[in-house]
Amino acid sequence: MMKTIVSTELPIDEQFRIRKNVIQNGRNDGLRFCVVTGTHGDELEGQMVCYELAHIVSERISSLDGTLEIYPALNPLGIDTIQRGIPNFDLDMNRIFPGDPQGTMAEQTAHAIIEDIKGADMVIDIHSSNLYLRETPQVRINVQDSKWLVPFAERLGMDFVWVHGAATVLEATLAHSLNATGTPCLVVEMGVGQRINHKMCRRLVEGILHLMQTMGMWKESPKDRLPQPLVCEGDRVTFLNAETSGVFLTELKCGINVSRGQTIGQIVDPLRGRVLSTVSSPVDGYLFTIRAYPIVYEGSLMARIFNTEEA
């Protein structure tokens, strides 16, 4: 059943709508599981995950015991205009939660989204990096919520769980705002902006169904054994930022182990045919982020490595 949670007029003969698909079977008072995505309009992996989930669960509805709610597009105008943010609005949508019913249209929308989702028994907020970085399938959890949420994250079948530090500015994310109300929300990052990696999406679909199964909402077991993720806690992520501006060239993909001193890539000068900087791993670890967009300025993030030396 389709439901509209936000409906507002646009200037010229168009309705702005945020919709969800509510799929229910079994107990009316059963658990409620939400899958949300499309906060950033350039992140598209969640579109395929939503499609696959809606398709599979609708086809095998008898296996569902509870309610699955799918929100494919929290920022429909961003998706339509290939923009990360909301058109004509300065702030990142994932920095204005829990919103404000008296604020701008974006803040009112954020408020309506929170009001609709809160109270769910589980929320999966799917992101897919941006145009610049490629991410291995991972769950990100604020350190304040780690004890509560890591056990859920370990059942999603992702490669990596990153428990990151708290920051005031991150208190305005959808996930933080939901977690603060007692609604568990896991943030998934994978792939790269503006593209869809089918294999990663199918893995996440399997992971979501597995999590639903362990919560007693899905009666089928996964076909294959799901991998156990590496869990990174305690400030053990090394960031590699560009020392100089140029063109970053790499042969590596993310999701691999690297050793101390191993070359990650090079920053080159196409005009003079020179290598400006060789980027090496300063630690033994697990490379879970690698730059996808090759033009870099000083400071541009090129890679993130989970430091396993002290493990």
Among 73, 296, 303, 305, binds other proteins (CB under 8 A): 296
Judged by CB under 8 A, the stretch of 8-16, 27-35, 219-227, 284-292 that binds other proteins is 8-16
Q: Give me the least distance between CB of 79 and other proteins, in Å please.
A: 16
Q: Is 166 in the site for other proteins (CB under 8 A)?
A: no
Contact 100, 112 (CB under 8 A): no
Interacting residues of 274 by C-beta distance below 8 A, sequence separation 6+: 268
Judged by CB under 8 A, the stretch of 53-61, 96-104, 135-143, 258-266 that binds other proteins is 96-104
Q: Is 93 in the site for other proteins (CB under 8 A)?
A: no
Judged by CB under 8 A, the stretch of 50-58, 149-157, 253-261, 296-304 that binds other proteins is 296-304
CA dihedral 234, 285, 303, 135 (to 10 degrees): -80
Judged by CB under 8 A, the stretch of 27-35, 50-58, 90-98, 150-158 that binds other proteins is 90-98
Count the residues of the shown chain that bind other proteins, applying the rule CB under 8 A: 41
Q: Is 5 in the site for other proteins (CB under 8 A)?
A: no
DSSP 8-state class, residue 228:
P
Cα of 2 vs its chain's centroid, Å: 24
Give the chain's radius of gyration (CA, Å). Answer: 20
Q: Is 28 in the site for other proteins (CB under 8 A)?
A: no
The single-letter code of the amino acid at 28 is: N
Judged by CB under 8 A, the stretch of 23-31, 60-68, 166-174, 188-196 that binds other proteins is 166-174
Residue spans of alpha helices (H) in 23-131: 45-59, 76-80, 105-117
Among 91, 150, 180, 215, binds other proteins (CB under 8 A): 91
Q: Give me the least distance between CB of 102 and other proteins, in Å please.
A: 6
- Rank residues 221 and 244 by Cβ distance to other proteins and give the closer one: 244
Q: Give me the least distance between CB of 155 and other proteins, in Å please.
A: 30
Six-digit token string for 174 = 């959808």
State which H helix or E strand residue 155 sits in: none
Q: Is 89 in the site for other proteins (CB under 8 A)?
A: yes
Q: Is 171 in the site for other proteins (CB under 8 A)?
A: yes
Give the C-alpha separation, 307 to 12, whole Å. Answer: 53
Which has the closest alpha carbon to 56: 214, 218, 225, 227? 218
What beta strand segments (E) does the chain contain?
2-10, 14-25, 32-37, 66-71, 122-127, 133-142, 160-164, 185-191, 230-232, 237-241, 246-249, 256-258, 263-269, 274-280, 285-291, 295-296, 301-307
Q: Is 102 in the site for other proteins (CB under 8 A)?
A: yes
Q: Is 148 in the site for other proteins (CB under 8 A)?
A: no
DSSP 8-state class, residue 211:
H
Q: Is 16 helix (H, G, I), strand (E, B) or coil?
A: strand
Among 22, 61, 82, 105, binds other proteins (CB under 8 A): 105
Q: Give me the least distance between CB of 8 and other proteins, in Å please.
A: 5
Q: Which residues make up the interface to other proteins (CB under 8 A)?
A: 8-13, 16, 84-85, 88-91, 95-96, 102-105, 108, 130, 132, 168-172, 239, 241, 244-247, 271, 295-301
